[in-house]
Amino acid sequence: MYTLTDFRLQDGGTEKEDIIINGSRMMTGNGLLGCRGTMEEGEADAMPALIMNGLYDRQGTGWREPVNIPHPLSVRLLPDEGPVLGICGDPRLVTHSQELDFRYGILSRDTVWRLPGTDGEPFDVTVRSRRFVSMARRDSLFLEYRIQCTGEVNLTLLHGIQTAVYDIHGPHLTDPSCRFSEEGMKLECRTGEENRTIQVEQTCRRTGFPDSSGEREEENGQGFYRVISLETAAGREYTLELTGTVAVKDMTPVGTDLEKISFEGELERHKAVWDGIWDRGDVLIEGDEEAAAALRYSLYQLQIIAPRGLERNLSVPARGLSGQTYKGAVFWDTEMFISPYFLATDPDTARRFLMYRVESLEGAREKSAEYGYRGAFYAWESQERGADACSDYNVTDVFSGKPVRTFFRDKQIHISSAIVYALDRYLHMTGDLNILYEGALEMALECALFYYSRSLWSPLHKRYEFHDVLGPDEYHERVDNNAYTSRMALFTFQTALGLACLTDDNRYRALRTDTDYLSYSNSLIERKGYRKELKEIRDITREVYVPVPGEKNVVYRASPERSAMENSSRNIVEQFAGYFSLQDKFPAEIRESLLHPKEYWGGSSGPASGTRVIKQADVVLMLSLFPGEYSPEVLRANYDFYEPRTEHGSSLSACAHALLAVKTGRPDEALPYFKKTALVDIKGDSKHFAGLVYIGGTHPAASGGAWMTVVEGFCGLSINDGELTLNPRLPAGWTGVRFTVMFKDERYDIRVTPEGHEIQKRRETVKGEM
């Protein structure tokens, strides 16, 4: 069982399962590289991983996924007899503890093994290590590895580069070759699909080792190692300082000079960057220590994947840099749940997320054309340049073993609107119009063009509708008039028209008086030939149908459920046409009805598909995004209706519920959802395997949702008519929340208490090394 205290997460588990969970739970990283929290000696079955943001490979017909880079901080300790000292199932293990300092992203261990001595007396070997992925040198990670024995003994110490990594759809790397030199070793290998060269280097400093230590080089089943024969002196400490560096052309910074690096020196530089990060990005909850630590841990998980300070614009994968699951792809998670934190604390990073999408515009256009539409249909699972990694068959049927046709790729059209939504937030939070000139205006217009080409006029209803979509609730496929999707498409139209200065939308009045912008915007519209469609979009926008609370919006299949529904409440928004006519079941009933524990709940004939049980917030999410458009009664009635019918089968669900609970004036009901969200990676109780395939990892959207719940929910931060406003509703027991917000190039220190709130503008904006 883990221990969570302020900025410290400790765990002593040594079972296989603990090792897998700690791998994600104790991630370190710097936005470019992410390193799973496995121990130095861990072999492939411990699932060590070193992942580089944006580096993918595809083998044969397997899914395209991140490359698991050879691990440059591999250390293995062998007694004279018996296997390598390890923690899982090793009878020689006495104690093991590993700890993540999540203030500074330092993973340390303290492990003791007991071995039989040559004289019959047992003796102990203790290994203490610290390691971090440097925030100051983005291509490097550092390890300090200390060995101490209570007796004299012959040990074999191996340190090197581990090539025997695990892969889901690999192997991805070919032709490894390693050159050993006085300073260390340098491995070179190549990816299969793009034939990219990856260089992994290890340099080493030793302290306390006798000059007489025998030494050789070895290539073994695990990789390339330097092998040292060490006769220990009792009580004496032997220290290795290892530096691992990864170089991939166009992806890593160039020119790191390895010789000048020392562990302590680098640690100081690394910590200095972290100090700057926390200065901007910390949130302090007062009066609830668990909540405070969980939130900071969530912010840590976000910071270690933030791709700041790099040459390329990258975004963040839905499982962070914690492995190959979810194909290392970027989902709508970024725009809807992760971006808000960065936007409020580090707008440059939020801008990168947007620029990543701007640079993916061509991919989104191609995808749209693929399906016969126009404009930008963004990838559901986005890899580089917007390529969609999502398969048409993304689930395997447990009964037949056959692939199940899923509709994430082709019908989940709300992805493009999420990007426009994030852009709109970005513009209002930063006032940075430059991004519009840099491609974001075109992107927004192309997204609108996509929804335009996807819209349909119903002669029967005399309105524009969006048909055959998959909303956030993925258990109900190919539905018409999904409230969330339709509202977001409408928002996209409104935003595009506002940005094109074709409406009198107050949100964009500043643009309409900016002659430079007007001229840029007009010339873009002319050049790209958008004029005619924008006019049509203006007409369509007036008649887009979004399901309305209590409205008999679509009479579909008379059923007892439907009638009961209509009588019981006139405030509920129907999730999609026909939802009310489905069987009224609850998640526990579905769970009990399963014939197989891993049965997929969705799909055309899935156990939830014919019922009102939904995977995750859908109408609730819409209401939490547009609360001002609905009465408090409507917000409350929908929360009460949908909440018990939601499985929360996605990490995005709990935070949407928390936000709406606060907005309906029930912060105490929101608190459990907040904790669920903030603790998801600490508890590690989500699903880790599908069959034998690892599907676990970190949940950055939940981490971002934790911040949203506290700052946008409990503290009620929002922008109204160009001003920061707060509308706090703290849960019982919380005595205060302190945080910092960047708003239009100014920093504000904010403190919220049950009694009220203070906003203070900082005199000097410290420009730290971020």
List the catalytic residues. 474
Residue entry with tokens 């007694």: 79
The C-alpha atoms of residue 141 and residue 128 are separated, in whole angstroms, by: 17
> How many residues sit in the footprint of a copy of itself (CB under 8 A)?
47
683 part of the interface to a copy of itself, by CB under 8 A: no
Query: Of 509, 506, 507, whose CA–CA distance to 518 is shortest?
Result: 509
Count of CA atoms in the C-beta half-sphere (13 A) of 30: 27
61 part of the interface to a copy of itself, by CB under 8 A: no
Task: State which amino acid sits at residue 765.
Answer: T
Task: State which amino acid sits at residue 172.
Answer: H
The binder of a copy of itself chosen from 610, 736, 754, 768 (CB under 8 A): 610
The binder of a copy of itself chosen from 338, 577, 590, 752 (CB under 8 A): 577
Restricting to residues 530-569, which ones interact with a copy of itself according to CB under 8 A?
536, 540, 554-558
The nearest distance, CB 456 to a copy of itself, in angstroms, is 4
The nearest distance, CB 305 to a copy of itself, in angstroms, is 33
Which tokens is 691 given?
A: 């069959």
689 part of the interface to a copy of itself, by CB under 8 A: no
- Identify which of residues 327 and 409 has a Cβ nearer to a copy of itself in the complex: 409
- Identify which of residues 456 and 588 has a Cβ nearer to a copy of itself in the complex: 456
494 part of the interface to a copy of itself, by CB under 8 A: no
Q: Mask 364-383, x = binds a copy of itself (CB under 8 A)?
A: -----xxxxxx---------
The C-alpha atoms of residue 205 and residue 226 are separated, in whole angstroms, by: 12
12 part of the interface to a copy of itself, by CB under 8 A: no
The binder of a copy of itself chosen from 392, 504, 633, 769 (CB under 8 A): 392
Task: Give the E-state strand segments of 164-236 in sequence order.
Answer: 173-180, 184-191, 197-207, 214-220, 223-231
Q: Mask 242-281, x = binds a copy of itself (CB under 8 A)?
A: ----------------------------------------
The C-alpha atoms of residue 21 and residue 460 are separated, in whole angstroms, by: 54
Break the chain down into helix, strand, coil percent, rounded to 5: 35, 25, 40
Task: State which amino acid sits at residue 220.
Answer: N
Residue entry with tokens 């899923």: 406
Distances (CA, A) of 713 to 45, 627, 664, 690, 705: 41, 12, 10, 34, 10
CB under 8 A: which stretch of 133-141, 392-400, 631-639, 673-681 binds a copy of itself? 392-400
Distances (CA, A) of 85 to 91, 208, 219, 488: 10, 21, 19, 55
Query: Of 306, 326, 303, whose CA–CA distance to 316 is shortest?
Result: 306
The C-alpha atoms of residue 464 and residue 429 are separated, in whole angstroms, by: 31
139 within 8 A of 29, measured Cβ to Cβ: no
- Identify which of residues 167 and 574 has a Cβ nearer to a copy of itself in the complex: 574
483 within 8 A of 405, measured Cβ to Cβ: no
The nearest distance, CB 477 to a copy of itself, in angstroms, is 8
DSSP state for residue 707 in the 8-state scheme: H
The nearest distance, CB 449 to a copy of itself, in angstroms, is 9
The nearest distance, CB 466 to a copy of itself, in angstroms, is 11
The nearest distance, CB 690 to a copy of itself, in angstroms, is 17
DSSP, collapsed to helix, strand or coil, labels residue 461 as coil
DSSP, collapsed to helix, strand or coil, labels residue 383 as coil
- Identify which of residues 595 and 692 has a Cβ nearer to a copy of itself in the complex: 595
- Identify which of residues 76 and 411 has a Cβ nearer to a copy of itself in the complex: 411
The nearest distance, CB 576 to a copy of itself, in angstroms, is 12
- Identify which of residues 40 and 480 has a Cβ nearer to a copy of itself in the complex: 480
- Identify which of residues 100 and 404 has a Cβ nearer to a copy of itself in the complex: 404
Q: Mask 716-745, x = binds a copy of itself (CB under 8 A)?
A: ------------------------------
Sheet holding 65-68, edge to edge: 28-29, 33-35, 50-57, 65-68
Host H or E run for residue 400: none
The binder of a copy of itself chosen from 5, 393, 633, 668 (CB under 8 A): 393
DSSP state for residue 234 in the 8-state scheme: T
The binder of a copy of itself chosen from 89, 250, 254, 402 (CB under 8 A): 402
- Identify which of residues 272 and 690 has a Cβ nearer to a copy of itself in the complex: 690
The C-alpha atoms of residue 653 and residue 209 are separated, in whole angstroms, by: 54
- Identify which of residues 162 and 481 has a Cβ nearer to a copy of itself in the complex: 481
Restricting to residues 450-479, which ones interact with a copy of itself according to CB under 8 A?
452-460, 464-465, 467-468, 477-478
DSSP, collapsed to helix, strand or coil, labels residue 606 as coil
Residue 292 phi, psi dihedral angles, 5° rounding:
-60, -50
The nearest distance, CB 460 to a copy of itself, in angstroms, is 4
- Identify which of residues 152 and 543 has a Cβ nearer to a copy of itself in the complex: 543
587 part of the interface to a copy of itself, by CB under 8 A: no
Residue entry with tokens 């620029």: 355
* Binding stretches for a copy of itself (CB under 8 A): 369-374, 392-393, 397, 399-405, 452-460, 464-465, 467-468, 477-478, 480, 536, 540, 554-558, 577, 595-596, 603-605, 609-610
